[in-house]
Amino acid sequence: MNPTSVLRDEILPGGGHLSFILKRGQILRMTDIEGGANVSLMMLNAHEKSERLNLPDTLKGQHTARLTAGHCFYSDMGRVLAGITADTSGWHDPFGGVLNAAEVAEKYGQGRYQELRNGFFRNGADNLLVEMGKWDLNLEDLLMVVNFFSKVSVDDHGQFTFHSGHSQPGSYVELFAPMDVLVVLTALQHPMDPSREYAPRPVQLSWRQADDEQAMINTLLTRPENSRAFTNTQLFAL
Q: Residue 142 is part of which domain span?
A: 3-236
Exposure string over 187-211, b if 16+ CB within 10 A, otherwise e: bbbbbbbeeeebebbbbbbbbbebe
pLDDT of residue 1: 73
pLDDT of residue 179: 97
What is the pTM assigned to this prediction? 0.97
Domain count, the chain: 1
Angstrom CA distances, 20 to 60, 78, 109, 177, stand at 28, 22, 31, 13
Contact of 188 with 14, CB cutoff 8 Å: yes
pLDDT of residue 237: 80
pLDDT of residue 238: 75
Tens of pLDDT, residue by residue, the chain (238 residues): 776 689 999 999 999 999 999 999 999 999 999 999 999 999 999 999 999 999 999 999 999 999 999 999 999 999 999 999 999 999 999 999 999 999 999 999 999 999 999 999 999 999 999 999 999 999 999 999 999 999 999 999 999 999 999 999 999 999 999 999 999 999 999 999 999 999 999 999 999 999 999 999 999 999 999 999 999 999 988 7
pLDDT of residue 5: 84
Task: Please tell me the distance from the alpha carbon of residue 200 to that of residue 150, in angstroms, as a whole number.
Answer: 13
Tell how strand 181-187 and strand 17-22 pair up. antiparallel
pLDDT of residue 154: 94
